[in-house]
């Protein structure tokens, strides 16, 4: 490792952001925080600035900036405050920065994540929605700039660890038969389908194995998370959707597997704690302590596997269809899902209506080629519009 690495954490106040700062704080000789961003939990952002002394903090509005500046001054902190998407892009691409943790949730993270990619940074990608929306453009930008893209999603980080160092020649060329993407099945894996209409946001957010932000928790409950991850894996590993199989594995101990033509199947195992993939990506290709307890196989005792149930989880089927369709389809899927999840969390729709809303949008909006970022955001806007129209007719 060469010297101290300066890190920007986009989405520092979230679940991934806080886990990242936990790992960083264990290695002050390796990492220094350059910038932190927050969106709604601004008193928590203040506390993080006092603790990690970043050069910059980024907040969404001028009012929030004014408040944070006053609070930082009172706390004797020298952190400078920047505002909005321009501020996020600035701290993602700043010449002083070595690595960027992209941990904003949803489409809001696309431009800042791309700014880090275009500046050729080491990009730790948690914000799967950014890649799902803009896959081809995103990967072109990675190749053009020479950015090092490291997956944080536990499954993709596992696959990355199970692939040979250089898989850029293509999966068949390095002997990969298929990728096995594991899924916990979420909190409703065994809930009778007839009861899904009555489940609450609280039940959806109570994941059996992982503690995460609310949006990804609902995505896990609907298995849209696995659908987004299928698309994410296609882009990260240059795979076709048919080369990726979803395997339900309720214990979340195996984080994914790679099946080779000689019959070898490589897996990465670990306790379900995001600090493992975060530490892996931060230190790659070295290894550092993440604070995660060693895996106790005797306590786990058994590992189970099942095929996914696409009847119960139509979001998985819709994602596969969007992956096959390509073009703007994944951006439409993602945007419709973001509106649907927010509506479910606000109790405006029932849980099964998340899939109905997405299917409505995908049925109405034609899929087009997306050659520019403008085209991606046009698809995103159009899907949100159709989803809102559906909501005004069917929502509460
Ligand atoms: P979270 O809700 O806990 O945190 C989201 C962060 O994004 C917060 O810091 C918030 O301030 C910021 N944010 C929200 N809306 C914003 C906006 N409009 N503009 C700028 N910033 C905004 O979410 P999370 O669970 O940490 O997930 C973050 C990303 O990582 C998501 O894309 C998720 O899919 C992915 N991910 C999370 C986990 C996990 O275990 N939590 C695992 C794999 C992937
Ligand atoms: Mg995941």
Q: Supply the pLDDT for residue 395.
A: 87
Distance CA 274, CA 11 (A): 15
Distance CA 383, CA 248 (A): 30
Task: Give the residue-averaged pLDDT of 301-321.
Answer: 96
Tell me the pLDDT tens digit for each residue of 79-113. Answer: 999 999 999 999 999 999 999 999 999 999 999 99
Indicate where the chain has its CATH 1.10.1740.10 domain(s): 326-396
In 26-121, which ranges are continuous DSSP H helix? 42-52, 62-74, 84-93, 110-118
Q: Supply the pLDDT for residue 311.
A: 87
Does residue 158 have its Cβ closer than 6 Å to ligand 1? Answer: no
Whether domain 326-396 has CATH 1.10.1740.10: yes
User: pLDDT over 90 for what percent of the chain?
Assistant: 96
Does residue 210 have its Cβ closer than 6 Å to ligand 1? Answer: yes
Question: What are the Cα distances from residue 98, in Å, to 86, 148, 210?
Answer: 19, 11, 29
pLDDT band at 244 (very low <50, low <70, confident <90, very high): very high
Cβ contact 39:60 at 8 Å: yes
184 carries a ligand binding annotation: yes
Higher pLDDT, 2 or 174: 174
The token pair that represents 337 in the structure block: 């899902």
Distance CA 73, CA 295 (A): 44
Tell me the pLDDT tens digit for each residue of 125-175. Answer: 999 999 999 999 999 999 999 999 999 999 999 999 999 999 989 999 999
Task: Give the residue-averaged pLDDT of 328-336.
Answer: 98
Indicate whether 2 pLDDT > 70. Answer: no
Indicate whether 208 pLDDT > 90. Answer: no
**CB-count burial class (<10 Å; 0-12, 13-18, 19+) for 3:** exposed
DSSP E strands in the chain: the ranges are: 5-10, 31-37, 56-59, 80-83, 99-102, 122-125, 148-151, 176-183, 244-248, 254-260, 265-269
CB atoms within 5 A of ion ligand 2 belong to 153-155
14 carries a ligand binding annotation: yes
What angle do the packed helices 128-145 and 110-118 form, to 10 degrees? 20
Q: What is the CA radius of gyration of the chain?
A: 20
Distance CA 231, CA 220 (A): 15
Tell me the β-bridge partners of 306: 248
Q: Supply the pLDDT for residue 150.
A: 98
Tell me the pLDDT tens digit for each residue of 361-382. Answer: 999 999 999 999 999 999 999 9
Q: Report the separation in Å between the CA atom of 226 and the middle of ligand 2, taken as the mean of its atom positions.
A: 7
Protein fold of 5-151:
Rossmann fold (3.40.50)
Indicate where the chain has its CATH 3.40.50.720 domain(s): 5-151
Q: Report the separation in Å between the CA atom of 126 and the middle of ligand 1, taken as the mean of its atom positions.
A: 8
User: pLDDT over 70 for what percent of the chain?
Assistant: 99
Q: Report the separation in Å between the CA atom of 201 and the middle of ligand 1, taken as the mean of its atom positions.
A: 17
Does residue 272 have its Cβ closer than 6 Å to ligand 1? Answer: no
Tell me the pLDDT tens digit for each residue of 253-272. Answer: 999 999 999 999 999 999 99
Closest atom, ligand 1, to C-alpha of 106: 32
pLDDT band at 210 (very low <50, low <70, confident <90, very high): confident
Handedness of CA 327, 329, 334, 338 (dihedral sign): positive
Does residue 278 have its Cβ closer than 6 Å to ligand 1? Answer: no
- Ligand nearest to the backbone CA of 256: 2
Q: Report the separation in Å between the CA atom of 66 and the middle of ligand 2, taken as the mean of its atom positions.
A: 36
Task: Give the residue-averaged pLDDT of 223-233.
Answer: 98
Indicate whether 1 pLDDT > 60. Answer: no
Tell me the β-bridge partners of 31: 5
The model scores a pTM over 0.75: yes
Nearest to 121 by CA among 151, 96, 139: 96
- Ligand nearest to the backbone CA of 226: 2
Does residue 38 have its Cβ closer than 6 Å to ligand 1? Answer: yes
Cβ contact 163:258 at 8 Å: yes
């Amino acid at each position: 490792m060469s010297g101290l690495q300066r890190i920007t954490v986009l989405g520092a106040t979230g679940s991934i952001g806080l886990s990242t700062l936990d790992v960083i704080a264990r290695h002050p000789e390796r990492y220094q925080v350059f910038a932190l961003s927050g969106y709604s939990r601004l008193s928590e952002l203040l506390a993080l600035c006092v603790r990690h002394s970043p050069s910059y903090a980024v907040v969404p509005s001028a009012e929030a900036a004014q408040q944070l500046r006053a609070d930082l001054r009172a706390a004797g902190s020298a952190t400078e405050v920047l505002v909005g998407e321009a501020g996020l892009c600035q701290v993602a691409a700043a010449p002083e920065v070595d690595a960027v943790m992209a941990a904003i949730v949803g489409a809001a993270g696309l431009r800042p994540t791309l700014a880090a990619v275009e500046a050729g940074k080491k990009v730790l990608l948690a914000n799967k929605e950014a890649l799902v929306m803009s896959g081809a453009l995103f990967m072109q930008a990675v190749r053009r700039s020479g950015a090092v893209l490291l997956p944080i999603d536990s499954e993709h980080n596992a696959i990355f660890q199970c692939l040979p160092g250089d898989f850029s020649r293509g999966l068949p060329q390095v002997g990969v038969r298929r990728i096995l993407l594991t899924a916990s099945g979420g909190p409703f894996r065994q809930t009778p389908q007839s009861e899904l209409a009555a489940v609450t946001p609280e039940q959806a957010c109570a994941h059996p194995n992982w503690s995460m932000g609310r949006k990804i928790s609902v995505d896990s409950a609907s298995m849209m998370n696995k659908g987004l991850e299928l698309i994410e894996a296609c882009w990260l590993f240059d795979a076709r959707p048919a080369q990726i199989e979803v395997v339900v594995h309720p214990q979340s101990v195996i984080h994914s597997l790679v099946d080779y033509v000689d019959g070898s199947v490589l897996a990465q195992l670990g306790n379900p704690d995001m600090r493992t993939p975060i530490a892996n990506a931060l230190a790659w290709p070295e290894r550092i302590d993440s604070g995660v307890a060693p895996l106790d196989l005797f306590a786990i005792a058994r590992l189970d596997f099942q095929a996914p149930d696409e009847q119960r989880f139509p979001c998985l089927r819709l994602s596969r269809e969007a992956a096959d369709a390509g073009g703007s389809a994944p951006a439409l899927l993602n945007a419709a899902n973001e509106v649907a999840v927010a509506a479910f969390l606000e109790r405006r729709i029932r849980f099964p209506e998340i899939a109905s809303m997405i299917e409505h949008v995908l049925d109405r909006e034609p899929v087009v080629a997306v050659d520019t970022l403008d085209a991606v955001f046009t698809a995103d806007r159009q899907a949100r519009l159709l989803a809102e129209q559906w909501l005004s007719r069917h929502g509460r």
